[in-house]
Structure 1
């Protein structure tokens, strides 16, 4: 039953399908630093592992720390909605390299380019979700350090892969991290508020009974 909450994420993702097309003027956030970042086809592997990474990450989190799991889902949904809101009013684009397909890695890159239009890059949802997963594991007290290191390493690898396969630029990463931290802060404030109200109600009830 707890895992059924995961369905919220693909449902919210349907909004992206609608937004992933040219709607008018698209802005470029490419910097000189981005132009010096090479295209490395091998990074398409961690880029695509993102799908399985999130699923496995959520399932294990649900098993080990149910409270953090549900708050992580809330952070994902809110974070994605914020990103989609930006896409709706400020569309960005990114230039992609011309590909001459010669092996299976480049075929994978070509498939990504064909299925995901080069729009709505800022903030990056790949980065947002990978970063939120890492932060969820790091704050859980029920998960061993080894698992935290593994999740963090994979998150960082996925984040940098977005640059090397030319799906995102540096500002897309910065924007995603800022959105993630803002959402984490807001959800944490809400959680603490709920906790304080719960304690207040219990104290009030106890005093009333006395």
Structure 2
């Protein structure tokens, strides 16, 4: 088989990669929001009385940053092993992310929860300081950290193959739980942001997964 044929077969096998073109829509839109909705502009401050009762815990920076690896690994797993599962995950995630962009555009929002003085000085607080510098406290509702973690968990739970590996699945769910807690303990998000993400994930689940199951309950998963 020639190199040209191998490339052709690879493209044919993984033609569903076109889905990632969504990044060409999401990234410019998100960067625009990050540039124009800042601490120096007017936005709606999202706050709950419960936020005041949640302490700042810098150690949660570890699962918070692991979110990037978690989401990437889940997407790549379905991309290479389960085309149908990949399309469902992408559909759920990208619809939610688009809703987030629309909400942030029409309802500029942010939080004012970050501590001015850190209670401790260690490597973890240094990592949090770097996070605060890189990420603005705006465009927070609903929390994408929470929503995409829930989307990944839903995809894992709905996968017949991954359901066989209970330890792996449970580990993913625990990590997702820690990531969700991290958004609040690092003062990146309000409880309201988290609740909004849960509500959005539950609602979209009904259209992406539950509705399809009702239409074709016996349809087998498509494998690569």
How high is the TM-score relative to the length of structure 2? Answer: 0.79
SS where residue 56 of structure 2 aligns?
coil
Q: Once the two structures are superposed, what CA deviation does each residue of 1:21-62 show, in whole Å capped at 9, x if it has no partner?
A: 427432222122110100001101111111111111122233
8 Å Cα contact 1:8/1:77 also seen in 2:
no
Per mean C-alpha deviation after superposition, the further-off stretch among 92-101 and 65-74 is 92-101
Please point out which of 17, 22, 34 is paired with 2:37: 22
Separation in 2, partners of 1:159, 1:138: 17
8 Å Cα contact 1:65/1:142 also seen in 2:
no
Q: Once the two structures are superposed, what CA deviation does each residue of 1:86-116 show, in whole Å capped at 9, x if it has no partner?
A: 0001122212111458332122111111111
**Counterparts in 2 of 1:16 and 1:148: CA distance versus 1, 3 Å:** same
| 1:102 partnered with 2:121 | yes
**Counterparts in 2 of 1:8 and 1:49: CA distance versus 1, 3 Å:** farther
Please point out which of 165, 177, 182 is paired with 2:203: 182
Deviation at 1:147, TM superposition (A): 1.9
What residue number does 2:6 align with?
none
Per mean C-alpha deviation after superposition, the further-off stretch among 118-127 and 62-71 is 62-71
Separation in 1, partners of 2:125, 2:150: 26
8 Å Cα contact 2:37/2:139 also seen in 1:
no
Where structure 2 has 5 or more consecutive residues not aligned to the other structure, the ranges are 1-13, 220-224
| 1:13 partnered with 2:27 | yes
What residue number does 1:201 align with?
none
SS where residue 142 of structure 1 aligns?
helix
What residue number does 2:105 align with?
88
Separation in 1, partners of 2:68, 2:15: 19
Where structure 1 has 5 or more consecutive residues not aligned to the other structure, the ranges are 199-210
8 Å Cα contact 2:16/2:83 also seen in 1:
no
What residue number does 1:164 align with?
185
Separation in 1, partners of 2:99, 2:85: 21
Deviation at 1:156, TM superposition (A): 0.8
RMSD over aligned Cα, in angstroms? 2.5
How many residues matched?
197
SS where residue 37 of structure 2 aligns?
coil
Separation in 1, partners of 2:189, 2:17: 31
